[in-house]
């Protein structure tokens, strides 16, 4: 019967950025590396296209379904809310989560369509806040050259330029955690930096309370 160990929670590590910036590539590598180093970690992404709400979002993104801009904004937010219980359970049981996209994408993409910024932020208020937001930034002209660009709704360069501007404006705004920028580097260089940030975050917030947006 030694001294009671403080219960360590997991860290909420968010990868954000414009389309094709490398979020999925980096999230997969990061999760593999953290697991190999012995950390408990799960990989999540928004939109989560596997739920009924996510199915509607998927059809909208593939342009097989049309929806009012406000309605689809609320669906993206609802898709985050429906995952809150799972995310809280994982974090409080000591598992970290590496998440692709979150409320920043929600706000920037809808605001780039012309919806009012304050209105765009409101449905996400009260969601779990990330402990760190790793922002993958990439010049839009580079993103446009990457594989698959242009296949889904929003993947045109003018729209993405608006989104990127809004991302850069919001950097100091919506987060409780730090935001770090990763400019155009090789996949392995970015990976090394993300691993270091993620491990630092896991250690730093192990005994801190969870916070909300």
Q: Name the residues that contact Na ion, by CB under 5 A.
A: 23-24
Distances (CA, A) of 17 to 9, 23, 73, 121, 174: 26, 7, 18, 17, 15
Q: Collapsing DSSP states into helix, strand and coil, what is residue 12?
A: strand
What residues numbered 155-174 form the site for ligand T5A, per CB under 6 A? Answer: none
Q: Is 81 in the site for ligand T5A (CB under 6 A)?
A: no
Find the binder of ligand T5A among 11, 13, 16, 22 (CB under 6 A).
Answer: 22
Find tokens 């995310």 and name the residue: 87
Instruction: Report the nearest approach of ligand T5A to the CB of residue 201 (Å).
Output: 20
Find the binder of ligand T5A among 154, 159, 171, 180 (CB under 6 A).
Answer: 154
- The interface partner of residue 64, options being Na ion, ligand T5A, none and the CB cut-off 5 to 8 Å by kind, is none
Which one-letter DSSP state was computed for residue 122? G
In this structure, are residues 166 and 108 in contact, taking their beta carbons and an 8 Å threshold? yes
Distances (CA, A) of 72 to 57, 107, 108: 7, 12, 13
Residue 52 in tokens:
């009924």
Instruction: Report the nearest approach of ligand T5A to the CB of residue 14 (Å).
Output: 11
Q: Is 187 in the site for ligand T5A (CB under 6 A)?
A: yes
Instruction: Report the nearest approach of ligand T5A to the CB of residue 55 (Å).
Output: 13
Find the binder of ligand T5A among 33, 43, 59, 61 (CB under 6 A).
Answer: 61
Angle between helices 103-112 and 69-81 (to 10 degrees): 180
Nearest Cα to 109, choosing from 57, 148, 145?
57
Q: In the complex with ligand T5A, which residue's Cβ is closer, 9 or 121? A: 121
Which one of the spans 29-37, 81-89, 146-154, 200-208 is the region binding ligand T5A (CB under 6 A)? 146-154
In this structure, are residues 106 and 73 in contact, taking their beta carbons and an 8 Å threshold? yes
Q: Collapsing DSSP states into helix, strand and coil, what is residue 62?
A: coil
Helices (H), the chain: 23-36, 52-61, 69-81, 84-92, 103-112, 117-121, 140-143, 157-170, 187-204
- The interface partner of residue 31, options being ligand T5A, Na ion, none and the CB cut-off 5 to 8 Å by kind, is none
Instruction: Report the nearest approach of ligand T5A to the CB of residue 92 (Å).
Output: 24
Q: Is 54 in the site for ligand T5A (CB under 6 A)?
A: no
Chain positions contacting ligand T5A, by CB under 6 A: 17, 19-25, 46-47, 61, 76, 100-101, 105-106, 109, 146-147, 154, 186-187, 190
């Amino acid at each position: 019967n030694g001294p009671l160990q403080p219960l360590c929670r997991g860290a909420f590590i968010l990868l954000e950025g414009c389309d094709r910036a490398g979020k999925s590539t980096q999230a997969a590598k990061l999760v593999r590396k953290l697991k190999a180093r012995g950390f408990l970690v799960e990989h999540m992404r928004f939109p989560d296209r596997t739920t009924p709400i996510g199915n509607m979002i998927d059809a909208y993104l593939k342009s097989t379904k049309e929806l009012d801009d406000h309605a689809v904004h609320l669906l993206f937010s609802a898709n985050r809310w429906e995952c809150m219980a799972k995310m809280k359970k994982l974090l409080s049981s000591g598992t970290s989560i590496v998440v692709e996209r979150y409320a920043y994408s929600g706000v920037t993409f809808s605001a780039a369509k012309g919806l009012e910024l304050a209105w765009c932020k409101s449905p996400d208020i009260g969601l779990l806040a990330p402990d760190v937001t790793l922002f993958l930034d990439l010049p839009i002209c580079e993103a446009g050259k990457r594989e698959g660009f242009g296949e889904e709704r929003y993947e045109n360069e003018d729209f993405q330029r608006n989104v990127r501007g809004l991302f850069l404006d919001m950097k100091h705004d919506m987060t409780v955690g730090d935001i770090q920028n990763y400019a155009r580097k090789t996949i392995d260089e970015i990976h090394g930096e993300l691993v270091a940030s993620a491990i630092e975050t896991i250690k730093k917030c192990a005994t801190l309370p969870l916070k909300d947006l």
